[in-house]
Amino acid sequence: MSSIKVECVIKEKNAIGEGPVWEEKDETLLYVDISGQKIHRWNPATNQIQTMTTEKPVGCAVPRRSGGYVIGEGTRFAAVDWGSQAITTITHIDADKPNNRFNDGKVDPAGRLIAGTMALEERPAVLEPKQGSLFSLHTDLSVVKHFSQVDISNGLDWSLDHRTFYYIDSLTYTVEAFDYDINTGGLSNRRMVYRLEKDEGIPDGMCIDSDGRLWVACYNGGRVIHIDPHTGARLQTVKLPVQKTTSCCFGGRNYSDLYVTSAYLGMDESDLAKQPQAGCVFKVTGLGTKGIPTNSFAG
């Protein structure tokens, strides 16, 4: 057994650090600061961060096969040209809910982007309920709305055989599964696979590993939990030195490092004094498992 090590690797703080994605071709970590309205790219070899500013809160940024990124920003899907920093609208969603914003999103194994929305928060996790929806941006740039009535649309990923979609609506305090039709991008047969215990906090971002198990970042829980979605068992808990752990992804050579983002928004001065690394990005090594390559948007 290798021993687990948790290291703070990005010391620049994010109000809501989120949506980490490993970009294999450049060996860089892409992530966003949602309320800070920033997209960051960090190069672990040089420890340099490149940053661009968005116009509205940015819930997610994903690589695009033809170059650049696609983002869920405010209530639009948009294309980003990293070189010129230009942002161009692809399509608007939630037209009847101008106070909504995109939150987490991820590219499916067929190259579609799935991302969900939520209402603007009064303070973290306090908001008008059931205002969010879950959308797919298909590769022909058409949008499908899967369902509404979501509180905080959050973590998502697919099983290794692409037949199951795992999903978190944070305020249900559960991880759910759907049957996934990889040919159409359709969802059916919603069910629960794991319910968080009280001290685990609020389920936020998640990712799958090469054994088909999930790693779930727990907001206000200061941890990432490892769960087996087939049995509903929690296999492991990895504690971090900050409470607001928001999301995670595997990266690095061989995808064997787990990167974990965090937030400081909503903390008072005494919390901040106790958690000086709130908002930083951490690297967890020695987990004895690895991730799978990142999908890029194929439209």
Q: Which residues are catalytic?
A: 204
**Those residues with Cβ within 8 angstroms of residue 113's Cβ, 6 or more apart along the chain or in another chain:** 62, 70, 72, 77, 105, 106, 107, 136, 137, 297
Q: Which does 21 bind (CB under 5 to 8 A by kind): Ca ion, ligand BGC, none?
A: none
Q: What are the tokens at 138?
A: 């298909």
Distance separating alpha carbons of residues 6 and 256, to the nearest angstrom:
13
Hey, which residues does 179 pair with through a beta bridge? 164, 188
Count residues contacting ligand BGC (CB under 6 A)?
15
> Which residue intervals of the chain are DSSP H helices?
269-274
Q: How far is the CB of 153 from Ca ion (least distance, A)?
A: 9
Between CA 87 and CA 61 the distance in angstroms is: 12
Question: Which one of 12, 24, 121, 128 is in contact with ligand BGC (CB under 6 A)?
Answer: 121
- Which residue has tokens 């509404």? 148
DSSP 229: T
Query: What are the structure tokens assigned to 175, written together?
Result: 């991880």
Per CB under 5 A, 104 contacts Ca ion: yes
SS3 199: helix
CB 250 within 8 A of CB 207: yes
The interface with Ca ion within residues 168-207 (CB under 5 A) comprises 204-205
User: 73, 200, 204, 257: which one contacts ligand BGC (CB under 6 A)?
Assistant: 204
Interacting positions 148-187 with ligand BGC (CB under 6 A): 152, 154, 170
* Residue 296 binds which of Ca ion, ligand BGC, none (CB < 5-8 A, kind-dependent): none
Cα gap 48→289, rounded to integer Å: 27
CB of 125 to ligand BGC, least distance (A): 5
Output the six-digit token pair for 284. Answer: 């967890």
Question: Considering only 119-127, 190-198, 278-286, 290-298, which stretch makes contact with ligand BGC by CB under 6 A?
Answer: 119-127
Per CB under 6 A, the list member of 39, 113, 202, 260 interacting with ligand BGC is: 202
Binding mask 215-254 for ligand BGC (x = CB under 6 A): ----x--------------------------x--------
Residues that bind ligand BGC (CB under 6 A): 16, 18, 34, 103-104, 121, 124-125, 152, 154, 170, 202, 204, 219, 246
Residues that bind Ca ion (CB under 5 A): 104, 154, 204-205
